[in-house]
Amino acid sequence: MINVKLSDLIKMVEELKKEKIKYVEIMFSEQSTYENHIFPSHLNFGGYDGEGGITDFGKIDNFEVDAFYNFKSEAKRSGQN
């Protein structure tokens, strides 16, 4: 499973649309560690170019979401930190 910001996902879709991409390969990569560096899980987007190739459009990293983010935002606005 992965959590991504909706704004990041919309931005990716808009970029793909701008480039007139009709088909997209979305690859999910689990979190990994290499030489003491932690790489978050992410979605990688590749757009089919219609000529047998795929253009790399980059990735969207996992975003840790606090299950109570809405409640905490409301408490902060009302001064109940």
Torsion angle of C-alpha atoms 11, 48, 42, 30, degrees rounded to 10: 170
Strands 32-34 and 37-39: antiparallel
Give the number of other Cβ atoms within 10 Å of residue 13's Cβ: 13
Domain locations along the chain:
6-77
pLDDT cut 90: percent of the chain above it: 70
**CA 32 – CA 57 distance, rounded (Å):** 21
Q: How far from chain centre, in Å, is Cα 10?
A: 9
Give per-residue pLDDT as tens, 44-69.
999 998 899 999 999 999 998 887 77
Report the percentage of the chain scoring pLDDT > 70: 86
List, for residues 30-49, the tens digit of each pLDDT value: 999 999 999 999 999 999 98
